[in-house]
Amino acid sequence: MRNYPLLFSIIILLMCIGCSAPPEPPEVHYAEVQLLALLKAGATEYAPDGYKKYKVAYRDANDEFIKEDAKFRWFKDYTSVREQFRLVLGKGNKILATIKKIKEEKSQNVGQRISSLKDRVASLKESTSMINEARLVRRSLSKAEVLLSEAEFLFKKGNYDAVETKLNLVNTYSLKSMDIANSILSRYMDKNQLVKWRKLVEETIEESKRKGIVVIIVSKIDQELIVYKKGNKIGDYDIGLGRNGLKDKLYAGDGATPEGRYYIVKKNAGSRYYKALLFDYPNKEDRMRFAQAKKKGLIPARTNIGSLVEIHGGGSDGMTRGCVSLENSDIDKLFAIVNEGTPVTIVGAVNGTLERLSSIKNE
């Protein structure tokens, strides 16, 4: 007699063993993780076209998985799903590699640009640090420095597009600073002007040599007062100038320091600026230029030419109203060796003093 219950049990057992549901392909999970990685890496920004194609492939593979996963477990077959997700993962890996390369290039380019702009800002700061008129330059440079700090912070975070935005502003402020500096210093680049100044200096030194006297030469761009005796240099001192000291004085209250050949007309040992040497500004040339400027409407009609311009004490780091200031110890030395009638030649620059200005122009 056949044992049908036993046979039936064996058949059911074999069916259960042979028809268990296949496991979900691990590629499905890998693709989910990869999708998040692509979004975090900025695929929509750095590889938008490739990412769109990736999303289509991912959606199609996921739809196929959902369809297959909904089948009765005896009929599930993930072979095709696995292959589709493997293709998706391959596309994603290529996109991630592309993004990595783009970011490395951006990092290098942005890093170089940060370094270049830092050098430019530092050079401009150094070049204009002693120029009173450059306060607007320094204001722009201060803004540029703040933006550079923000850019460096964003650079460390890898936010290169935000860095580029900051650096574009830094570039704008630095170029603005250069324009302001060049407008102030343009005449210091004028060869004809330089020749004129050089001639004044040479004539003054020659007079010192010929007459055996003491003469004073002031170089405004160097903020230096130089003393010659019998044609030989015997001393030099740091000086302070007016708030617009690099400009040639034209009228009262302009804050500029005059340029030209002058003579000391009074020694004042009781000046409110410790000691002072008054020179004969305005001279004949100054009055002629003032009259011409007034005639052309370059200065207000009621403006006066000004007077009482001195070489005085009080400190070389101060800002004057157009005078030349020295440390008290230096005005003491100068006071002891000059007399009324001592020549004073004030120029914008003397030979070999324009390296600092050239660096601004060549930025």
Q: Using the predicted structure, report yes or no on whether residue 15 has a pLDDT greater than 80.
A: no
Q: pLDDT (tens digit, 9 = 90+) per residue, 249-285?
A: 888 888 889 999 999 999 999 999 999 999 999 999 9
Average pLDDT over residues 41-62: 94
- Within a domain: 251: yes
Structural domain tally of the chain?
2
**Hey, what are 213's tokens?**
């006297």
Average pLDDT over residues 204-225: 95
Average pLDDT over residues 285-289: 93
Picking from 102, 128, 160, the residue at the C-terminal end of a domain is: 102
d(CA 137, CA 126): 11
Angle between helices 79-128 and 26-41 (to 10 degrees): 20
Q: Cα dist. 222→152, 274, 360 in Å?
A: 35, 24, 15
Strand order in the sheet with 310-312: 232-238, 224-229, 214-219, 343-347, 260-271, 274-279, 310-312, 324-325
- The enclosing domain of 268 has a CATH number of 2.40.440.10
On the 0-12 / 13-18 / 19+ scale of CB atoms within 10 A, 105 is exposed
d(CA 194, CA 259): 13
Q: pLDDT (tens digit, 9 = 90+) per residue, 51-60?
A: 999 999 999 9
Residue 85's nearest CA partner among 62, 69, 52, 56 is: 62
Total count of residues recorded for the chain? 363
Q: Cα dist. 351→173, 219, 325 in Å?
A: 32, 10, 22
Q: Is the Cβ–Cβ distance between 250 and 263 less than 8 Å?
A: no
Q: pLDDT (tens digit, 9 = 90+) per residue, 180-190?
A: 888 777 888 88
Side chain identity at residue 145, one-letter code: E
Q: Give the structural domain span for 54.
A: 15-102
Calculate what percentage of the chain has a pLDDT beyond 70: 90
pTM surpassing 0.85?
no
Q: Using the predicted structure, report yes or no on whether residue 18 has a pLDDT greater than 70.
A: no
- Buried/exposed code over 18-31 (b: 16+ C-beta within 10 A; e: otherwise): eeeeeeebebbeeb
Least confident of 17-31, 93-107, 310-324, 336-350: 17-31
d(CA 90, CA 235): 78
Q: Using the predicted structure, report yes or no on whether residue 316 has a pLDDT greater than 70.
A: yes
Picking from 102, 117, 135, the residue at the C-terminal end of a domain is: 102
pLDDT, the chain, mean: 87
Same domain, 85 and 217: no
d(CA 315, CA 309): 16
pLDDT band at 321; cut points 50, 70, 90: confident
Q: Are strands 224-229 and 232-238 parallel, antiparallel or unpaired?
A: antiparallel
Same domain, 97 and 205: no
Q: pLDDT (tens digit, 9 = 90+) per residue, 73-108?
A: 888 999 999 999 999 999 999 999 999 999 999 999
Report H helices in 19-134.
Answer: 26-41, 43-46, 48-69, 79-128
Picking from 74, 102, 130, the residue at the C-terminal end of a domain is: 102
Is 101 or 137 the better-scoring residue by pLDDT? 101
Residue 340 is inside which H or E element, if any?
Answer: none
- Within a domain: 232: yes
What pLDDT, on a 0 to 100 scale, did the predictor assign at position 295? 87
Q: What is the CA radius of gyration of the chain?
A: 40
What pLDDT, on a 0 to 100 scale, did the predictor assign at position 205? 96
Calculate what percentage of the chain has a pLDDT beyond 90: 60
